[in-house]
Amino acid sequence: MGRTIHSGDEVLIDPAGTPRLGEVWAFCDAQGEILVHRYLTRKAGMFRFQGDTNDAVDRPVPPERLIGRVVRILRDGEEFDQTSPRTRLIGKVLAIRGLARAALRSFRR
């Protein structure tokens, strides 16, 4: 994830619910690897995610590959709540920025 989750951080996952714009979620990719990226949008029943430092949007993820949303990040003995209104607003801004970048890339082609 880069900006939100650093290498070596631990995350606490809430396995319930449906992704909302800007939330950070854990899911399995097509190869079975667990990824933790920010939720952008849903299209044709598939979920779209993107890492904060990635330019490319991930391949669509079917609902059965969703694990859950990140509710806490543990880093060097500190705990960061991902459910506060401020954190959720920042997440939405980052998600909208990711959607805008994807739209610009497709427009330039």
> 65-102 pLDDT, tens per residue?
999 999 999 999 999 999 889 888 988 998 898 888 77
Judged against a pLDDT cut of 80, whether residue 55 lies above it is answered with no
66, amino acid identity: L
Judged against a pLDDT cut of 90, whether residue 48 lies above it is answered with yes
Judged against a pLDDT cut of 80, whether residue 107 lies above it is answered with no
Judged against a pLDDT cut of 90, whether residue 10 lies above it is answered with yes
How distant, in Å, are the alpha carbons of 9, 15, 55, 93, 108 from that of 97? 24, 26, 10, 6, 17
Q: 10-108 domain in CATH 2.10.109? A: yes
